[in-house]
Amino acid sequence: MPVPGRPDRIYPLTLAELAFIIIFLILVLTGGMMVKGKGGDREALPAGPPPALSAPGDDPDRILSALVRKAEGQRLRQRIEDLEARLSALEEVKQRLPENPEPAAAELASALVFKRALERAAGEPIPPGREAELAAAYAEARRARPGGPDGVAQLARENRDLRAQLAWRESQAASRGGRDFPPCWVDGVTGKPQYLFAIEIRPRGLGIAPAWPAERDQDAAQLPGVAELAGAGVLPLAQFRARVAPLDAHSRRHHCRHYVRLINRVTDLATFNRQRYAVEEFFYKYEPR
């Protein structure tokens, strides 16, 4: 029934209104499809935690114990591998060792004794790594100077004297003075020359007496003609020159000169000079005033 005052027909929609309605309907349909899809996904997923972690009837303590046993097993496996590697290395060492280790142990003990003997003879420790070099030097010394440990000890004394002579030369060079040859014997503490003889100038010749320190007794005994000179009494100049010539040659071979104390017992100047010059041919002298 028509309403009074109101038209009985629907006015046509504009194009804009029609497009808006179509877009709205498309959005509604799209949203409904998305909601339905999510609901299906939720239905596909099982509820609760994964069965691997909490399957029905599983005990958490049992799961934790299994994990601990697995970790312990891995550590034990690594330790076994390390032990096997060590055993392999020990087996290689064992194969290299002789079947009877006693001779090798005896040789090692002998080498240690030999090293200690060399160190005592040299008066200083052998630096690590130089054992073979010093052993070769010892063998060479044995060939050149028979006598076993005594020969080594003599070489050690000569080495000590050479060091003292080098120190003396350096001190003389620093003072811009000195003689042509270093002293054959030098005190290792004071750096001063050590004297071989005390020689007195007398009217009938030269009187010779020992003047070396007690520490040089063995060295003096090995010098040519020293024992005879020390007990010869007063020697005329000709005999003096003949007897000290071997000693002088020995010192020159070693590029050194021995020192003596020269004491004057004469009043004649000509006698004094003649005998003093004879002493100076073979020795360096010190004249006490």
Which tens digit of pLDDT belongs to each residue from 196-235? 999 999 999 999 999 999 988 988 999 999 999 988 889 9
Name the pTM for this structure.
0.45
Q: How do residues 120-141 score in pLDDT, each as one tens digit?
A: 666 667 777 776 776 777 666 6
Helix (H) or strand (E) holding 235: strand 234-235
Give me the residues paired with residue 195 across strands. Answer: 259
Residue ranges per domain, the chain?
195-286
Torsion of CA 182, 186, 191, 194, to 10 degrees: -110
What pLDDT does residue 152 have? Answer: 56
Residue-wise pLDDT tens for the chain (289 aa)?
Answer: 455 555 544 445 677 777 777 887 888 777 777 766 655 555 544 555 554 444 555 667 777 777 777 777 788 888 888 888 887 777 776 666 666 666 666 777 777 777 777 666 666 677 777 767 767 776 666 666 555 445 556 666 666 666 655 655 555 544 444 557 888 888 877 878 899 999 999 999 999 999 999 988 988 999 999 999 988 889 999 999 999 999 999 999 988 899 999 999 999 999 999 999 999 999 999 888 7
Tokens of 199: 């020689």
In terms of Cβ atoms closer than 10 Å to its own Cβ (0-12, 13-18, 19+), residue 283 is: buried
The residues that bridge with 285 in the sheet, in sequence order, are 260
Question: How many other C-beta atoms can be found within 10 angstroms of the C-beta atom of residue 131?
Answer: 14
Q: Is residue 262 classed as helix, strand or coil in its secondary structure?
A: strand
Output the pLDDT for position 177: 46
